[in-house]
Homo-oligomer: A and B are copies of this chain.
Amino acid sequence: MSIRVPYETVKSTVKQAFLNLGLSEEQAEVCASTHADSSLEGIESHGLNRVPRFAEYVQKGWVDINAKPELVGAKGAVENYDGHLGIGVLNARFCMDRAVALAKEHGIGCVALKNTTHWMRGGSYAWQAAEAGFIGISWTNTESCMPMWGSKKPGVGNNPFCIAIPRKSGPIVLDMAMSQYAYGKLGVYRLAGKQLPYPGGFDKDGNLTSDPGAIEASGRILPTGYWKGTGMAIALDLAAAAMANGKTGADLDREGRGSCTGCCQIFIAYDPYLFGSEEEIQAKFDDRVAAADATEPDREGGRVTCPGERTAATRAKNMELGVVVDEQVWQQVLDLAAGKMETKDIASACILNDLQDDDKK
């Protein structure tokens, strides 16, 4: 069951939990904000839900809270860092900041990070670039959780890909996993006794199905756009591993730690005002978004929006009424904040973020 908890309570509780894990004041502050903001914006799967999992990984030694990203190479507009299995959120925040700094100097900036850990909500970092006034593009590779097209066994990650556009009236943010639904979403539908709104995978006999339980049982989650999703996932994996000179999804599979431990992430920033004035470019954005939003809805009372547009409203609503959190997860976070360090494996593997999915549910 879900309850609502005031944002400040959520954030301070998460922060205390992180302090208890040994994070510094500054580390705990940034990480708590990132998790709390994800839940605030309706992305529970990578907000509160990920706190117990993070604690578990720190306890297992899969995340080294003392590690810092180390520069291992640079050329022109590109830098390469080794994340040394440090805190994924902090490594990623650092790298997008560097990408923005490089873009200020070179027009475009790219930071390729290896040996990092789960960045939680992928969109956070593209969003970070947008807040700095830059177009942000980022992606990660992950261990395999989705069958390649034409296969029935997991062979590729659902490698999320993000693009953010710095719009004054609210950024447009794509945050898109390469699977149609997250495993976490399947569980939500199954527990609610509901079918998925559209087919989300294959059952054990290879039939396309909207039955979440049948997909969980077969492990044959549907790629975004069928063959397209696994094609893009493998291309992103190869690109990330080469750009960062780090581990591929196949390497992660062999290591078998799970949840992106040791993965590569790419952060690209681009100055949108290089060739047009800020006023001109912002007018272009607003005009384009307005034209899309003005198209005729497919049903009475429907509303067409671009990705990220509803986020401001979600934030405002949850800031007023309280953040929606799962009661059981919240209890775990409270326990962690109270110094009870037992964690349970809440999030299933590979439930990477899917902002738009959540936007539309």
Question: Do B180 and A238 touch across chains, with their CB atoms under 8 A apart?
Answer: no
In the bound complex, CA of A198 to CA of B227 (Å): 11
Shortest Cβ gap from A98 to chain B (Å): 13
A313 cross-chain contacts in B, Cβ below 8 A:
none
A225: nearest chain-B partner, CB-CB: B224
Q: Which residues of B contact A249 (CB under 8 A)?
A: 288, 291
Q: Most B CB atoms within 10 A — which of A106, A149, A250, A274?
A: A274
- A163 CB-CB contact with B under 8 Å: yes
Which residues from B are CB-within-8-Å of A150?
Answer: 297-298, 302-305, 360
Q: Are B235 and A295 in contact (CB under 8 A)?
A: no
Q: Which residue of B lies closest to A223 (CB)?
A: B225
Q: Give the docked Cα–Cα distance between A309 and B231 (Å).
A: 11
Q: Which residue of B lies closest to A236 (CB)?
A: B163
Q: Mark A139-158, 1 if CB is under 8 A from B, else 0.
A: 00000000111111111100
* Residues from chain B with Cβ under 8 Å of A161 in the complex: 232
Give, as a whole number of angstroms, the nearest-CB distance from A29 to chain B: 30
Identity of the chain B residue whose Cβ is nearest the Cβ of A244 in the assembled complex:
B275
Pair B274/A106 contact, Cβ less than 8 Å: no
Question: Taking CB as reference atom, which chain B residue is nearest A287?
Answer: B250
How many copies of this chain are found per oligomer?
Answer: 2
Q: Is the CB of B288 within 8 A of A245?
A: no
Do residues B176 and A281 form an inter-chain contact, with CB atoms below 8 A?
no
A310 to chain B, nearest CB (A): 12
Given contacts A106-B76, A155-B304, A306-B231, contact A295 B147 (CB under 8 A): yes
Known A80-B274, A284-B242; contact A176-B231, beta-carbon cutoff 8 A: yes
On whether the beta carbons of B295 and A151 are closer than 8 Å, the reply is yes
Please indicate the chain B residues that have their CB under 8 angstroms from the CB of A288 in the complex: 234, 237-238, 241, 248-250
Q: Which residues of the partner chain B approach A58 to less than 8 Å between Cβ atoms?
A: none
Task: Check A174 for interface membership: any CB of B closer than 8 A.
Answer: yes
CB-nearest residue of chain B to A270: B243
Please tell me if A78 contacts chain B, counting CB pairs below 8 Å: yes
Say yes or no for A221: interface residue by CB 8 A criterion.
no
List 9 extra interface pairs beyond A77-B77, A80-B275, A248-B288, CB under 8 A: A72-B275, A75-B107, A76-B108, A150-B297, A150-B360, A155-B292, A227-B360, A234-B288, A249-B288
Q: Which 3 A-B residue pairings sit nearest by Cβ, starting from the closest?
A: A76-B106, A224-B225, A78-B107
